[in-house]
Amino acid sequence: MFALRGKCQILSGTIEMNHLVQLRGSRSTYLKMSFSNPFKLFPFLFILCCYGLHAGIAIDTITSSQSVKDPETLSSKNGNITLGFFTPQNSTKRYVGIWWKSQSIVIWVANRNQPLNDSSGVVTISEDGNLVVMNGLKHVIWSTNVSITSSNTSAQLSDSAKLVLMETTTGTILWDSFQQPSDTLLPEMKLKIPSNGTGTQAKLRSWKSPSDPSVGSFSLSAVQRTTIVEGFIWNKTRSYWRSGPWNGSVFTGIQTMPSAYLNGFQVIDDDQGNKELYYRVPSTSEFVIYVLNSQGQFIRTQWDDEKKELKHSWTSEQSDCDIYALCGPFAICNSQKSPTCSCLKGFEPNNQEEWNRQNWTSGCFRRTDLQCERVKGQNASVDAKEDEFLKLQMVKIPDFSEGSTVTPDKCKSQCLGSCSCIAYSHDNGIGCMSWTENLIDMQQFSGAGLDLYIRVAYTEVEHDIPINLVIKIPSSVVSEFSPKLGLLFDWIATATNNFHLSNKLGQGGFGPVYKGELQDGQEIAVKRLSRASRQGLEEFMNEVVVISKLQHRNLVRLFGCCVEGDEKMLIYEYMPNKSLDLFLFDPSKRKLLDWMKCCNIIEGIARGLLYLHKDSRLRIIHRDLKASNVLLNKDLDPKISDFGLARIFGGNEDEINTNRIVGTYGYMSPEYAMQGLFSEKSDVFSFGVLLLEIVSGKKIISFYDDEHGLSLLGFAWIQWNEDNILSLIDPEIYDPNHHKDIVRCIHIGLLSVQELATERPTMATVISMLNSEVTFLPPPNQPAFSRWQNMNSVPSKESSVNNSPLRFSHLNKVSLMHLVSLLGSLVHHLGFSLAHIGILRGFEFLNHIRSSSPLENPSMPPSSNSPSVPSDPYPIDNQTSTFECVFDVRSFRAVEDHSKYKAWHGPEKIVEVILKLKFSRARTIPDSIAQAFFHAALSVGVSSAKPSQLSQIISHQNHTQKWKFGYHLDKDQKKHLENWKGVELKGSLA
């Protein structure tokens, strides 16, 4: 289309016009014209305008009379798609192609194997009606090459980037570019899948190189075997990549492809008995394409309109495990393990030497022959037993399966009944799949995939004594769980980029939390319970039921849950500012808070708790309110989260007793920590602690005031009584204009942490106090866990002099008593009564522990060299068994340097601590008691250490037991713990 633009000036009867006559996409041509008589200009303008109008009638169409000559271009109606001549980077050849907005995004090439050597090319309609590309000698170098009865044809470029040749009069389509794709799959472009090898197969073919569009080594197509459809990338004639079977929603071998992802891929039946693969985009304005590049990678490319750039959002080659048959037959690939390849259970490497060199292509062989033929032949020996199946979960199933539409049970019986069947799998969307040849191209996923059952000899299966585990869930909980909340694991895995480390938001007590994004753009937070988590099905179901019934602006919203195999996940609304503790204890983020924001956070938490206690349909005690369980949205509005430990109260219940103490030390009320009693006032105590943390910017489980080593509650109490309240307030949030409000909040905080639950206000009263509806506030009584602050103690600076052994006598009394209280609650948690704890001279402590119930057997019996142990590990007599406890701290280097700690990532350190208990008389301590004791002791020095799964008993001789604990610590925690080297605790145990 011609465009006329310029500027006219009339000077002394002369018109000069500088203007640009340009064909879209062609080179600029400047004309300078001078007319002495202005009236002579009009005929010229009339002719020019008529020609421009004629050229503009069909800017997207080629006819026999309207061709495209190099460097002219043809554009679609919306102007986004262009057909024209281009030269690839680092090349001198000319090609006819279709591109999107810029020549850097070429999506189709006509003459890819017959390039033009100069700029003399032309695209036109030939005499026989075909669309052709001709060179300067009028030689046809490319043609649509279809049989046409009429020469009245035209070609049109659509907004979908499809170039169509059609009969002009009738509009009948004779050919289109989607039938002969290059290297790019476009929305609505259908790849034909011939049924069982019949018909013409559509393929994408890669460029030879980024500068050479000619056909390269790689091609992509979909294949149908019996009823099973799979996608393949081929390197010439060899398989290079495989998608896994299509199950009606996803290709099951693509771990990051949940249902309706990758812009809605679909497989449909055509009108000729074949199938077609294509995809759609939610909006025609979105630019999303898939390109098979010259390296054999199938890449999803899309335009980021906000950043004005292209981005690659997915690739077929996520790891080496995606390369076809990398590990050879009967081996499985796992990109998260080293080495990557491993033999299936019951199989061994065919060539161990090659495997040691990480060349796994030879695969594995079966260690024990199958017994199927012998068993069926009835001539088997007495001990011959029928083969069994080993179950592999979440795997990319092998290639070359045979399909049938039968039930899972029928699928298993068919395979078991055929000695040639070596494996089977079943999926509701695919049916039954079985294998009779080598099992190749298997991959272990962390999510998605299918279950695969592999036939092995009976002797290869471990036959343990069966143990029945029954988890009793109240019927009310079961009835409240709505299946509508359930979500597919595949969706969640994809939304979180397969739980990628970059999506990880943090680590909770029961597992990691990941950020995710659903297809519609909705951001989510996924709480994934680790398999090692202490939270079982009951806590999980409890959290689902509790929070699904709650609706309040200060409670986090639950979108759904997922229970699939061992996986248990909760899906919450995403909070962009993460948790409150990050803002309270990170100096850089603390600066973002002022008093008004803190006040809003305090009031929001209070209103959320009041809703739980009084206003919701259920009366709920949270039991684990702390800074890390308060999330902040983009406006820093607080939302209470993590209801795994919450308890629902009956209508007439005001207090409940439990033998199972759960929660976080420091935030636990004394009656709950020591006696297992909890009520609304337990949450009030936690709220008070949290309020003091917000105002002071100090952590509850830390010590303040070098001289006295006070906890936050003790420190706050001292400052309150000495009228030195400014030393408690964080300067970052202090505002003299709101001094009275800040002091009032501290007052309310101290009222909330009083030792006696009856003296603490309710949350309704707390909110009235915060809003100044209650004008008079009673004076607070002494908080819990702060009674020893006036005792004499050694300054903390003496606690680590020249790395000399540090004894408990060097610690202040507050720390020791805090340890004792924590130990008491843990012992109570384990089912014992703590009858008396006394502090003796020299700070030895005497624990008179009496067994309130029969103890379990020790988790590991004494060795043969140790004395015999009485049946009652704690005989009640008048004798005293003195004991000595020694902590030996051993520091390791960074996690990455130690393969046995490879599961951990990040800048944290691993610290290994040896706990040794030596007794004057023979006695055996259960591992659980030692671990409880150790965790209690450690919590005094380190507030948030995370125990690993490496705890184990390492010695059990000469009246001495040793335990080794691996702890996951950050840099500051490690430094703090190193001051405990050689700590000794001596006392007596009756």
Q: How many residues does the chain have?
A: 990
Contacts made by residues 363-366, CB under 8 angstroms, sequence distance 24+: 363/327, 363/328, 363/329, 363/330, 363/331, 363/438, 363/440, 364/328, 364/329, 364/330, 364/331, 365/330, 366/330, 366/456
Pairing of strands 106-109, 95-100: antiparallel
Residue 57 has phi, psi (to 5 degrees) of: -65, -40
Q: What's the rounded Cα separation, in Å, for the pair 598 and 910?
A: 35
The rounded distance, in Å, linking the Cα atoms of 163 and 123 is 12
Distance CA 452, CA 332 (A): 12
Closest CA to 696 of 710, 680, 681: 710
The answer to whether residues 632 and 694 touch, using CB atoms and an 8 Å cutoff, is: no
Spatial neighbors of 100 by CB under 8 A, at least 6 apart, are 80, 81, 82, 107, 161, 287, 289
Please name every residue paired with 984 in a beta bridge, in sequence order, or none if there are none. Answer: 807, 886
Contact between 974 and 911 (Cβ < 8 Å): yes
Question: What's the per-residue H, E or C state across 57-73?
Answer: CCCCEECCCCCEECCCC
Give the tokens for residue 119.
Answer: 């700029």
Residues 422 and 436: their CA atoms lie apart, in Å, by 6
910, 951 Cβ separation under 8 angstroms: no
606 burial level (CB within 10 Å; 0-12, 13-18, 19+):
buried
* Residue 255, both tokens: 């771990």
Residue 632 to residue 612: CA distance in whole angstroms: 18
The CA dihedral of 615, 617, 623, 626, to the nearest 10 degrees, is -50
- Take residue 109 and report the two structure tokens written for it: 């090439």
Kindly name the residue from 399, 581, 624, 683 that is annotated as catalytic: 624
Residue type, 641: S
Q: HSE (CB half, 13 Å, CA atoms) of 652?
A: 0
∠ CA 547-530-859, nearest 5°, is 115
Give helix 680-696 / helix 595-610 axis angle, nearest 10°.
170
Cα R_g (the chain), whole angstroms: 38
Which candidate, 146, 150, 140, places its Cα nearest to that of 170? 150
Residues sharing a CB contact under 8 Å with residue 878, sequence separation 6 or more, in sequence order? none
Sequence-ordered alpha helix ranges (H) in 182-312 = none
| CA contacts within 13 A on the Cβ side of 164 | 16
Please name the helix (run of DSSP H) or strand (run of DSSP E) that holds residue 721, with its range, or none: helix 712-721
837-846 long-range contacts, CB within 8 A, separation 24+: 839/813, 840/987, 842/809, 843/808, 843/809, 843/811, 843/813, 843/816, 844/986, 844/987, 844/988, 845/816, 845/820, 845/987, 846/987, 846/988, 846/990
SS (H, E, C) 636-682: CCEEECCCCCCEEECCCCCCEECCCCCCCCCCCCHHHHHHCEECHHH
Reply yes or no on whether 624 is catalytic.
yes
- With residue 818 as reference, give the H or E element that holds it: helix 813-829
E strand residue ranges, 436-589: 442-444, 450-456, 504-508, 511-517, 523-528, 558-564, 567-573
Best CA proximity match to 940, nearest among 909, 894, 903, 976: 976
Q: Which of 583, 576, 623 is nearest to 600 (CA)?
A: 583
What positions carry a catalytic annotation?
A: 624
